[in-house]
Amino acid sequence: MNWLNDNVNLLALIGAAAIIIISVFVIGKYLRQMQNDKSGGELAKDNWDGIGEYKNPLPIGWALSFIGTIVWGLWYFLAGYPLSAYSQIGEYNEEVKSYNTKFESKFSNPDQATLMGMGEGVFLVQCAPCHGVTGDGMNGKAANLAKWGNEEAVISAILNGVKGSDYPLGEMPAGLLDKESATAVAAFMMQEVSSAKKTKNSALVETGRALWATCSACHGEDGKGMDGQSANISHYGDAQFVVNVLGMGKKGAIGNMPKFNDGRLTNVQKLAVGTYVHSLAK
Ligand code: HEC
Ligand code: HEC
């Protein structure tokens, strides 16, 4: 190894040698001083078992740095860190917020293809762990999203009841109507109340209209859920219904679907994943 060809190594070597020489010199000086120096000056009047104390004034540099640390401490407490509310977490939150604002404005007018692409991405990260990559619910671990959000699912909701979200009206009881009436009211709901605006059983719409009172008691005449008292089924069959589910969370047989309203998804991401999930519902 050729030490002396490298400037940095050479400098470090000279520095190390200098430190050793200076240390030896300084230590030697103080050792000699301790051996030879005599103490002097005026003694304080207190003395402890013969050990006294000189009346030396506080060194000015020491006193200044002592006062300096007090001033700095006050500044740090009041204006620097805790009380000025600066924190790394706060700075992180600010950054996330400004990024999200940029994100929202970039995607303020997303077209269908953008929503589907973004929605699939969000779904794979946030939803697939429970609903499965294809949304099939992984053998009943969570809702099978292909069998959800359509007319058959409304019929099954009426027959089997719905629960799991914290709506003020509580659960929707099972067996409100028999299969035949349920099929008719589902036809009416899909055609007239929900945003789907179509039904597979258009012949039953008028029969269903007469039965709608059973449902409007909790969902309101317009199906909007009476200001949050129960689910807003006027959105059944579009992305907004999924967005509402994300806001409420849902308890299921295997556990809870969290509420996604803690800011981990932006509004346009919720709309996107709603659009994607809705496309899974056959
Ligand atoms: C921790 C697991 C979990 C995660 C993550 C999760 N879900 Fe769910 N989801 C559930 C459970 C449990 C249910 C309740 C229904 C059931 O038991 O099948 C459910 C139900 C649903 C329903 C049906 C709601 C209804 O009213 O019937 C939709 C739609 C849904 N989830 C969409 C999503 C979307 C979109 C995401 C991602 C943003 C997501 N879920 C993430 C577990 C989860
Ligand atoms: C006793 C009040 C009540 C009545 C009556 C009622 N519902 Fe509901 N319904 C609810 C509540 C509450 C929810 C939300 C439950 C939850 O998600 O926890 C709901 C949810 C739903 C859903 C959403 C299902 C899903 O997958 O999230 C549909 C669709 C629905 N109701 C349709 C109907 C129809 C059609 C009728 C008439 C036959 C009806 N409801 C009668 C209270 C009611």
3 has pLDDT over 70: no
Q: What are phi and psi of 152, to 5 degrees?
A: -60, -35
Q: How far apart are CA 233 and CA 213, in angstroms?
A: 14
User: What is the average per-residue pLDDT within 60-84?
Assistant: 89
Q: Encode burial over 90-100: b for 16+ CB neighbours within 10 A, e otherwise.
A: eeeeeeeeeeb
pLDDT score recorded for residue 26: 96
Percent of the chain with pLDDT over 70: 97
pLDDT score recorded for residue 85: 66
147 has pLDDT over 90: no
Cβ of 167 less than 6 Å from ligand 2: yes
Write down the residue that tokens 């005026």 correspond to. Answer: 42
The model's confidence at residue 37, banded by pLDDT at 50, 70 and 90, is: confident
226: number of Cβ within 10 Å: 18
User: What is the average per-residue pLDDT within 95-118?
Assistant: 92
Non-local (6+) Cβ contacts of 245 within 8 A are 165, 257
Q: What ligand is nearest to the CA atom of residue 231?
A: 2
Choosing from 250, 260, 268, 275 the residue with most ligand 1 atoms within 8 A of its CB, the one to mutate for a pocket test is: 250
282 has pLDDT over 90: no
pLDDT score recorded for residue 76: 86
Q: How far apart are CA 126 and CA 135, in angstroms?
A: 12
**Chain-wide mean pLDDT for the chain?**
90
Cβ of 280 less than 6 Å from ligand 2: no
| Ligand 2 geometric centre to CA of 172 (Å) | 5
Q: How far apart are CA 156 and CA 161, in angstroms?
A: 8
User: And the tokens for 202?
Assistant: 């258009």
Non-local (6+) Cβ contacts of 118 within 8 A are 107, 110, 268, 269, 272, 273
* Residues 209-219 pLDDT 10s: 999 999 999 99
66 has pLDDT over 70: yes
Residues with CB under 6 A from ligand 1: 126-127, 129-131, 142-143, 145, 148, 164, 242, 245-246, 250, 252-255, 257, 260, 273, 277
169 has pLDDT over 90: yes
> Which is more confident, 144 or 167?
167
**CA nearest to 247, candidates 228, 222, 225:** 228
> Which is more confident, 4 or 204?
204
Largest Cα–Cα distance of the chain, in whole Å?
118
pLDDT score recorded for residue 237: 83
